[in-house]
Amino acid sequence: MAQLAERPVANTPRVGKPGDPCVMVIFGAAGDLTARLLLPALYNLARAGLLPKEFAVLGVARAQMSDEDFRKKIREDVKEYCGECIEDSSWESFAQRFYYLTGNFNDDNLYPQVKDRLAKIDHDHSTHQNFFYYLATAPSFFGRIVEKIAALGLMDQGNNHWRRVVIEKPFGHDLESAKVLNQQLLKLADEKQIYRIDHYLGKETVQNIMAFRFANGIFEPVWNRRYIDHVQISVAETVGVEGRGSYFDHAGTLRDMVPNHIMQLISLTAMEPPISFDANAVRDEQAKILHAIQPMSDQEVLTRTVRGQYGEGTAAGERVPAYRAEADVPPDSRTETFVAMKLLIDNWRWADVPFYLRTGKRMPVRNTHIVIQFRRAPFVLFRDTSVEHLMPNQLVLHIQPEEGISLQFAAKVPGPVMRLGTVDMNFEYQQYFGKQPSTGYERLLHDCMIGDQTLFQRADMVEAGWSVVDPVLNVWTALPPRNFPNYPAGAWGPKEADDLMEHDGRHWRNFEQ
């Protein structure tokens, strides 16, 4: 395998200014998202010198805890999910910034308590009345929480302070509900105050898509229908529903992954060059792509989409149960755990270039990647040689678990006969720049503190993503599946997903590790 020439690992710390003085209020502070991702991300920011000195966190949840209990829990969580990253010399000053308030989000009496605690924390830590609220809660609480804090003036901004709210996915469960939620939020806050977060955009490779395309003169000239045959986007997960059977069975993979994660990957891969890296300039171009995706007719949904549900099988060498045997899942569930579809973008750059996407649970490996497959070179030069066919070039953007970029091309095999072999040229972030502890949320939280919305979805982007998904939901609801489960755990999805591409003379690129 051909490798890029070795280069010294970069030792220079990431350049960046600390966030503005502020208080982060985490609604749902006792939950899994906070423990696994938000707390380690905040600690990594503190170690990198990117948290302001005037910073504090107020956690709000139903669990009964004191401030000190919360600080002990934080240490346990960060130690569990961040491994050996805790440094005793820096931990104490970090932990002393955390406070806790017990309350039920449905209790109107909670929100005046939040206001009172914020006033004291703001005074003690000199945070300049800058507050941002992270809604790590069930989606049913999104509108209510923002409505209650706004009624107390906690979303009001002034010349010398700001207020922001970060909203996790899922943002609605279909197009209509997303519109309703957007309308509700925009009555309470300005679009510039609303940060709809998608943690995929915190991954280095995803952020690097724009840099890769627009900072390198050798790629952008061929990034179009003249040179590219098709694009594949795969988001494969090895896990099942992990104890979230009740939630997942109402959502399904289509709602859970496609309108947010995958639409973001499509928009960054296909967008036109923005006029600058200003947040709205970038998001304008992303929105144009999402609006340009051709909506499918009912008949096209039947021929260009595939849904699947895993049965029992083998994962990581162990037998695992079928989806319908998971906890809190009905034994006759019709919810999909796998989705594949073929999308077309109706603009000049991408006319007739299909975008194939697939995502599913209980697949052989955990792997997210984007494959750019170029058109085959003309065979005419090789017709009188022993070369029987030419392999197309592929550019692969590896997003997880390993982040990097690889380029596959043909080279002559040494010897007296003209034979071609496939060669991979690989770049891995960790090899070149060293490994930095990261959950994917560090960049996003820091951007929220400095007011950069580039990596956050705008209202029109959310609705455009749902407009692609809605026709599929409608057909799938009207015509329930008859053959679930239709792929064993540990497989790359149902056979129909392979057929989707093979019908066009193409095939999926699978990575086994």
Cα–Cα distance measured from residue 57 to residue 126, given in angstroms and rounded to the nearest whole number? 13
Cα–Cα distance measured from residue 273 to residue 286, given in angstroms and rounded to the nearest whole number? 10
Q: 397 near 429, Cβ under 8 Å?
A: no
The neighbour count for residue 379, using CB atoms within 10 Å, is 12
Q: Does domain 201-502 have CATH number 3.30.360.10?
A: yes
Instruction: Note the pLDDT tens digit of each residue in 262-278.
Output: 999 999 999 999 998 88
Q: Residue 3's pLDDT is what? A: 44
Catalytic-role residue among 125, 199, 230, 261: 261
Give the list of residues 6+ apart from residue 355 with CB closer than 8 angstroms, or none. 230, 231, 232, 233, 266, 270, 342, 343, 344, 345
CATH number of 22-168: 3.40.50.720
- The CATH 3.40.50.720 domain(s) of the chain lie at 22-168
Instruction: Note the pLDDT tens digit of each residue in 329-348.
Output: 999 999 999 999 999 999 99
Q: Residue 418's pLDDT is what? A: 64
CA triple 332-334-336, angle to 5 deg: 135
| Element (DSSP H or E) covering residue 59 | strand 55-61
Cα–Cα distance measured from residue 424 to residue 421, given in angstroms and rounded to the nearest whole number? 10
Residues of the chain with pLDDT under 70: 1-16, 83-85, 89, 205, 377-390, 410-413, 415-422, 433-437, 513
Cα–Cα distance measured from residue 313 to residue 309, given in angstroms and rounded to the nearest whole number? 12
Q: 425 near 2, Cβ under 8 Å?
A: yes
The neighbour count for residue 504, using CB atoms within 10 Å, is 13
Amino acid letter, residue 106: N
261 has catalytic annotation: yes
CA triple 260-441-44, angle to 5 deg: 170
64 burial class (0-12, 13-18, 19+ CB within 10 angstroms)? exposed
Sign, CA torsion 176/180/182/186: positive
Question: What is the maximum span of the chain, computed from C-alpha positions, in angstroms?
Answer: 84
